[in-house]
Amino acid sequence: MEGKYKILIADDATDVVELLRKRLRFEGYETIEAFDGEECLERVRETNPDLIILDIMMPKIDGYEVCRTLKSQQRTAYIPILMLTAKGEVEDKVKGLDAGAQDYLAKPFNYAELSARVKSLLSVKSAREKLVQEEKSDALDHMMEGVVHELRNPLTSIGGFARRLLDSLETGDPNRKYVEIITAEVSRLEKMVKHLVELKTAALSYKEPEDINVLITEVLDGFRKWCEAEGVELKVDLMENLPCLPLDRENMKLALSHMVENSIEAMQGRSPKLLTIASSLEGGRIEVSIRDTGRGVPKDKVKYLFDPFFTSKTSGPGLGLTLALRIIQEHRGTISVESEAGKGTVFTVRLPVSRP
């Protein structure tokens, strides 16, 4: 996923904050500002920054206590903290590091040095997140093998007998609604097992260059009846003459299908229902956007959308978006997400035109 690094600047000296804000934004970072310890903690809760530049001597709550508070909470424990202070004594540095800060810089500081330390801390954070993601992926692979093995045969039996029982019941039979619930839940679990198998076995095989617009059209053709049944208006805006890409045709269609399916499900029970699919060429990359007017996701939950079994849908947790992300990344592409609770979601897939 793409996006600027967010850096929180917490200092009661407005001139320092302004200097850092201008210089960091010039380097391409997004900045958030706080002018006392309480405000710093509040901004962290609101924005979940990638790094904090934290002054020690601040009103209300000093930097040491802010640091200890953040490091004691699981959600914020791994946000790197660079402490700034007018105190340059060794004991002050030790106290800051003991509180959980990753680095320490005395005022007045050289901005080039601060910039280098910021880049180093963000690089370490990025490497750690990549390692955690790889460990998650390995754990998921092992888990999937066990789950698929244990669920597949019992589900086949339960689903088969439940559907046979449903067919044998009259429309007005009071027991019919209970059997319908059973069959619906079995179908949901069968779908989950199918996704687990797809996630485990998805292996890319680059073949002939493909027209992404053709793949999008084929995917949407498979959803048109569902859209009609759900009252979803489908708007398609595909740029003509896009360059062909070396794609695994079936896996790419699978990735797009999961995102479209997620969008349709997110619009259930809402009005209006508009699903917009567009393609374009931007800066050497083909972009495919999938926009819905569904329930959306709170901003602090967006980063979890691609985690296995995370759900914002009434239909329960799934693996479709996890699989979609894996397939897109295997094509050296990215997926970015913009979402807001009550206003809908936009998935943007970016695929490089040229291969190295």
pLDDT in the model for residue 119: 93
- 140 and 226 in a single domain? The answer is no
Q: How does pLDDT run across 14-73, given as a tens digit for each residue?
A: 999 999 999 999 999 999 999 999 999 999 998 889 999 999 989 999 989 999 999 998
Domain boundary among 177, 199, 221: 199
Kindly report the CATH number assigned to the domain that includes residue 146: 1.10.287
Centroid of chain to Cα 116? 28
Q: Which of 295, 302, 251, 289 is nearest to 273 (CA)?
A: 295
Q: How does pLDDT run across 253-307, given as a tens digit for each residue?
A: 989 999 999 999 999 889 899 999 999 998 889 999 999 999 998 888 888 888 8
Domain membership of residue 320 (yes or no) is: yes
Q: What is the DSSP string of 111-142?
A: HHHHHHHHHHHHHHHHHHHHHHHHHHHHHHHH
CA distance 240 to 171: 50
- 226 and 147 in a single domain? The answer is no
- 144 and 257 in a single domain? The answer is no
pLDDT in the model for residue 100: 87
Q: Which of 8, 15, 10 is nearest to 36 (CA)?
A: 10
Domain range enclosing 289: 209-352
Q: How does pLDDT run across 318-332, given as a tens digit for each residue?
A: 678 888 898 898 888
- 213 and 348 in a single domain? The answer is yes
Domain membership of residue 101 (yes or no) is: yes
Q: What percent of the chain has pLDDT over 90?
A: 46
CA distance 308 to 234: 28
Centroid of chain to Cα 209? 29
CA distance 305 to 301: 7
Least confident of 86-95, 154-163, 282-291: 86-95
3-state DSSP assignment of residue 161: helix
- 171 and 221 in a single domain? The answer is no
Q: Tell me the pTM.
A: 0.52
Q: Which of 189, 113, 185, 116 is nearest to 151 (CA)?
A: 189
How would you classify the pairing of strands 285-292 and 274-282?
A: antiparallel
Domain boundary among 162, 180, 199: 199
Evaluate whether 210 touches 249 at the Cβ level (below 8 Å).
yes
Domain membership of residue 299 (yes or no) is: yes
Crossing angle of helices 212-221/249-266, nearest 10°?
50
Residue 115 has pLDDT above 80, yes or no: yes
- 194 and 276 in a single domain? The answer is no
- 251 and 345 in a single domain? The answer is yes
The average confidence (pLDDT) of the chain is 86
* The total number of structural domains that make up the chain: 3
- 149 and 52 in a single domain? The answer is no
Domain membership of residue 10 (yes or no) is: yes
Kindly report the CATH number assigned to the domain that includes residue 331: 3.30.565.10
CA distance 196 to 323: 9
- 170 and 286 in a single domain? The answer is no
- 276 and 347 in a single domain? The answer is yes
Q: Which amino acid is at 77?
A: A
Domain membership of residue 121 (yes or no) is: no
- 146 and 274 in a single domain? The answer is no
Whether the upstream peptide bond of residue 209 has omega within 30° of 0, thus cis, is no
- 241 and 348 in a single domain? The answer is yes
